[in-house]
Amino acid sequence: MNKKTVRDIDVRGKRVFLRADLNVPLDDGKITDDTRIRASLPTLVYLLENGAAVILASHLGRPRGKVNDALRLKPVADRLGRLLGRPVRMTGDALGPGVMTAVDKLRPGDMLLLENLRFHAEEEANEPAFATALADMADIYVNDAFGSAHRAHASTEGIAHHLPAVAGLLMEREVSALSRLMERPAKPFHTVIGGAKVSGKLEVLESLLSRCQAVLVGGGMANTFLAAKGHALGKSLVETDQLDNAVRIMTEARRKRVRFMLPTDALVAAQVHPRAQRQVVRVGEVPRDWSIVDIGPETVAAYTSHLDKARTIFWNGPMGVFEIAPFAEGTNAMARYIAERTPRGVITVVGGGDSVAAVDQLGLIDQMSHVSTGGGASLEFVEGKILPGVAALLDAGEGSAS
């Protein structure tokens, strides 16, 4: 990576402001998935073991600049404490005199978790005074919040202009894996892309067409391409306002000699409901009142057979309505196939919140070369955008940060 990391600086005896992404899903105050907390541990432990005093900060949910008791970080502090095997102290606010007193008491190896940064509207507004106040607590800034790096907020971007700013270990891993994918993928480089919609992924598709040798399309997104080719798809999700874009993308693929594959068969259901009647049909024969809910077995066979040649595979977006078990077979088959390629030397990278959830459900996270923790951030990276939270960090070549 071309950015300085925690390993490039001396943190001993320093106060470190560590921005992590601890934005976990909550259900009635309970954490339903602690992946992000666990992913933040290596940097935190590294800093503590190397004698830093750590001020840990994150956002949680969307409180929109107001204190919201349901979005306090207490459950995160508890889970973090359990994972670390030591209690995690919290402040009642992200800022203020009470916080300063607590920060002043920190000794090497101590840590403190600040309350939800987004209780302050200045955080998302990237208010310079707020960023300065955060910076005043510490000697060094470490950004490990890859999942928030596409946002220029006070704790992800503004603060970096006031302190020596370096990447955490998770940030480093994410940026290295995705940069490699973008800059020097082993070829052939094939993408499997799905999810609900074409809109929102147009820039991803365009970027991939310039880098990949094949793009294999599934999910609701494929419907819009199939509709643009003239197929009647019953009640399937089709973005009728994206048909022109779909044609443009397919023309672009042809011009660039990128293999652009669409499903040839599909699982259709009478309703999008687990107990609805269902059957496999050719994509040209979707019954009038039915919906496509997954790719069919012939498509799975064609896609996996084509992927046999790939040396790099990027996957974003489920192949069907995978949240409903009977409609998850296409997604699961692709996930299993991609995971099997990793020990054969293929670089396998998965990005996108729902695709990662699908891989996680199958217990295959560790079987991939890289599974990105940053949903929106990883897609913006693949679009070729510069992430402000990464850009603000010290370049690897820059003078000593300590």
Active site residues: 36, 197, 353, 376
Number of residues that bind ligand ADP (CB under 6 A): 19
| Minimum CB distance to ligand ADP, residue 17 (Å) | 30
Residue closest to ligand ADP (Cβ): 195
Q: Does 262 bind ligand ADP (CB under 6 A)?
A: no
Q: Does 43 bind ligand ADP (CB under 6 A)?
A: no
* Region of 45-53, 118-126, 246-254, 353-361 interacting with Mg ion (CB under 5 A): 353-361
CB 288 within 8 A of CB 269: no
For β-strands 259-261 and 189-193, DSSP reports them as unpaired
Burial 291-309 (b: 16+ CB within 10 A, else e): bbbbbbeebbebbbebbee
For β-strands 189-193 and 140-143, DSSP reports them as unpaired
Question: Would you say 73 or 328 has its CB closer to ligand ADP?
Answer: 328
Q: Does 317 bind Mg ion (CB under 5 A)?
A: no
Phi, psi of 227 (to 5 degrees): -65, -40
Question: Would you say 371 or 394 has its CB closer to ligand ADP?
Answer: 371
Long-range CB pairs of 228-234, under 8 A, 24+ apart, other chains included: 229/262, 231/283, 231/284, 231/286, 232/286, 232/288, 233/283, 233/286, 233/291, 233/292, 234/268, 234/286, 234/287, 234/288, 234/289, 234/290, 234/291, 234/292
Pick from 103, 237, 313, 334 the residue near ligand ADP by CB under 6 A.
Answer: 237
Q: Does 374 bind ligand ADP (CB under 6 A)?
A: no
∠ CA 206-208-210, rounded to 5°: 80
Pick from 351, 353, 374, 388 the residue near Mg ion by CB under 5 A.
Answer: 353
* Region of 36-44, 57-65, 140-148, 350-358 interacting with ligand ADP (CB under 6 A): 350-358
CB 267 within 8 A of CB 296: yes
Residue 371 site contact among ligand ADP, Mg ion, none (CB < 5 to 8 Å, cut-off depends on kind): none
Q: Does 219 bind ligand ADP (CB under 6 A)?
A: yes
Q: Does 194 bind Mg ion (CB under 5 A)?
A: no
Cα separation of 167 and 3, whole Å? 7
- Residue 344 CB contacts under 8 Å (≥ 6 apart), including other chains: none
Radius of gyration of the chain (CA): 23
Question: Would you say 194 or 389 has its CB closer to ligand ADP?
Answer: 194
Question: Would you say 117 or 292 has its CB closer to ligand ADP?
Answer: 292
* Region of 30-38, 52-60, 173-181, 312-320 interacting with ligand ADP (CB under 6 A): 312-320
The full length of the chain comes to 402
| Minimum CB distance to ligand ADP, residue 320 (Å) | 5
**N- to C-terminal Cα distance for the chain?**
19
Residue 166 site contact among Mg ion, ligand ADP, none (CB < 5 to 8 Å, cut-off depends on kind): none
Question: Would you say 65 or 297 has its CB closer to ligand ADP?
Answer: 297
How deeply is 262 buried, as exposed, middle or buried, from its count of CB atoms within 10 A (0-12, 13-18, 19+)? Answer: buried
Pick from 234, 353, 374, 388 the residue near ligand ADP by CB under 6 A.
Answer: 353
In terms of Cα–Cα distance, which of 152, 143, 37, 56 is closest to 102?
56
Q: Interface residues with ligand ADP (CB under 6 A)? A: 194-196, 219-220, 237, 292-293, 316-318, 320-321, 323, 352-355, 375
Q: Interface residues with Mg ion (CB under 5 A)? A: 353-354
